[in-house]
Chains A and B, each alone.
Chain A
Amino acid sequence: MLDDFVTRALIAGLGVALVAGPLGCFIVWRRMAFFGATMSHAALLGVSLAFLLNINVTLGIAVACLVTAGVLLSLTRLKVVPADTLLGLLAHAALALGLVAISFQETLRIDLLSLLFGDILSVSRGDLGWILGGGVVSLGLLAVIWRPLLSATVHEELALVEGVRVRLVQAVFVLVMAIVVAIAMKIVGLLLIISMLLIPPAVARRFASTPEIMAGLAALVGVVSVIGGIEASLAWDTPAGPSIVTVATILFVVSLPLSSAVLRALFKNPEKAHHHHDH
């Protein structure tokens, strides 16, 4: 079964989507989209690091993301420049450094486009092991820190006073982000990773009444996007990573209140119109 490249692509994509949804919810709730984007830009540095040290690429990316996050957090505390300036600066500095470092490698071994936009259809059995392993570990860690992280997201000082070990929980959260960026790299590439983290929660928000429902729906939206994107890529010979993100974007547009109104008007079926109340 795993001999088929489409099957491997589907399993890898689903593995990433299932953890990217719940993780992405926290990135949205905590307004850390730019932070996530900066971390994923550092992934390229991780690739060169991996080639340089001759270690696994996924591991190299995770390490580079963690180092970048560490640098980011310590520089933010120094308050030399505004936080968003620092994020933008570091994101593109990391990208530029990564591109320069890659150019020193044996060019034949690295396909730059696949690093930027993903290469899900070339996922090997080895890749699959790393992706599923990373997915299970990050999902497990997220489940462990779910409640304290939610508490710290709602009010950090209240959580501290109530005994939540906020620093530790936040460190684990950044670690999970690094792992997910590393495993998503192969699927959608570093430029599109953040969209796998942000779009599914954005679609899920309107239909969710609790944080857990939103996380579950976001995972579902990710799964639908992966399946739809891979099918579209096979049918119309479009690049798989961007196709996945495009399907997710279409789901987002359809989920907008304006779209539901337009759809209802088009099909003129008021009895079946879905009405959602919270009271």
Chain B
Amino acid sequence: MSLATAPFAERGEVLIEAHGLTKRYGGHSVLDRVDLTLTRGALTTVIGPNGAGKTTLIRLLLGLEKPNAGTMVKPDGLRTGYVPQRLHVDESLPITVRRFLALGGARPAAIAEALRDVGAARVIDSPLQSISGGEVRRVLLARALCHDPDLLVLDEPTAGVDLQGQADLYELIDTVRRKKNCGVLLVSHDLHVVMAGTDQVICLNNHVCCSGAPDAVSEHPEYLALFGPRAARTHAVYTHDHDHTHDASGVVVPLEEGER
């Protein structure tokens, strides 16, 4: 059976299978024979220091750049939602959050629903430049969700957000993944907070140093060599145990039953 005709349904369905991805810039290998498998319902976290090729990997997976070598298999019609690291819109451009989401081609009902899903319904008519850093992340996530993606790709989703905000965002990503049953690829240079729900951690430093379940990776010798002995002490698999959560404006809202 070809991948093209496979129904996008059950958890575990392969969304992207990459083998030997290699990207060179001027003779220097930024990515060297990287293997990667992303599946529906699974959360994969790529960690690595600056310059490890994390952004290049994302660009290859999104089709923004072509690899020098390697293969990448995706089912036909795979819908990928991309949450970029930064959003800079010039002050001179009058644009609301609603219009920003509509630019992606979403219908009005889908826009309102996506904003509710990420807890940012409040800012729907705010100018895009007036919302906070945490709200920007939620709005970018909403834009990706408008397309009902099979795979969500997030580049440093918590950069520039305070610690509580980071925890809230990781929880939100986890909630979205469960609700939409999509695959998630999350890229981070943040060693201290790796979300509890991560199924697979890939430690990248131009090549794949090690990969596997979070606990296994954090004890791997190559991981320790790359991030130093301090990482072994300070790194902790992030576990979250709250009896409440926060919406985009920071207001405390109680968790629903079963969400804890």
Contacts and interface: CB of A to CB of B under 8 A. Distances in A.
Interface stretch (A153-161, A255-263, A265-273): A153-161
A147 B100 CA distance: 11
Contact of B94 (A31, A161, A210, A279): A210
A154 B94 contact: no
A151 B99 contact: no
A98 B125 CA distance: 49
Interface stretch (B84-92, B195-203, B210-218): B84-92
Contacts of B127: 278
Interface in B80-108: 80, 82, 84, 87, 89-90, 92-96, 99-100, 103-105
B159 to A, nearest CB: 16
A209 B100 CA distance: 13
Interface in A32-56: none
B93 A160 contact: no
Given A155-B87, A158-B84, A210 B103 contact: no
B3 interface: no
B255 to A, nearest CB: 31
A162 B94 contact: no
Interface in B100-156: 100, 103-105, 125, 127-128, 143, 147
Kindly state the interface size class of chain A when it binds its partner: 20 to 34
A211 B93 contact: yes
B92 A154 contact: no
Contacts, number: 59
Contact of A205 (B82, B94, B105): B94
Nearest to B81: A161
Contact of B84 (A157, A201, A210): A157
B103 A161 contact: no
A210 B97 CA distance: 11
A13 to B, nearest CB: 25
B38 to A, nearest CB: 16
Contact of A153 (B63, B93, B94, B143): B93
A162 B147 contact: yes
Contacts of B125: 278-279
B64 interface: yes
Contacts of B95: 154, 210-211
B105 A162 contact: yes
A28 interface: yes
Dominant SS among interface residues on chain A: helix
Contacts of B63: 161
A151 B82 contact: no
A28 B92 contact: yes
A116 interface: no
Contact of B92 (A158, A201, A279): A201
B92 A162 contact: no
Nearest to A152: B103
Dominant SS among interface residues on chain B: loop
B224 interface: no
A132 interface: no
A157 B82 contact: yes
B69 interface: no
Contact of A154 (B64, B103, B105): B103
Nearest to B87: A155
Nearest to B82: A161
A31 B103 CA distance: 20
Contacts of A211: 93-95, 99
A214 B127 CA distance: 14
Interface string A126-166: 00000000000000000000010011011101101110000
A215 to B, nearest CB: 10
B62 interface: yes
A182 B96 CA distance: 34
A2 interface: no
A278 to B, nearest CB: 7
Contact of A162 (B87, B100, B104): B104
> For A30, A162, A209, which residue has the most chain B Cβ atoms within 10 angstroms?
A162
A210 B92 contact: no
Nearest to A214: B94
B93 A161 contact: no
B103 A147 contact: yes
A31 B90 contact: yes
21 contacts: A29-B93, A31-B90, A150-B103, A151-B104, A154-B87, A154-B89, A154-B100, A154-B103, A155-B84, A155-B89, A158-B84, A158-B104, A161-B62, A161-B64, A161-B82, A162-B105, A162-B147, A210-B95, A210-B99, A213-B94, A278-B125
Interface of B: 62-64, 80, 82, 84, 87, 89-90, 92-96, 99-100, 103-105, 125, 127-128, 143, 147
Given A151-B104, A162-B104, 11 more contacts: A30-B90, A31-B90, A151-B103, A154-B89, A157-B84, A161-B62, A161-B63, A201-B92, A205-B92, A210-B95, A211-B94
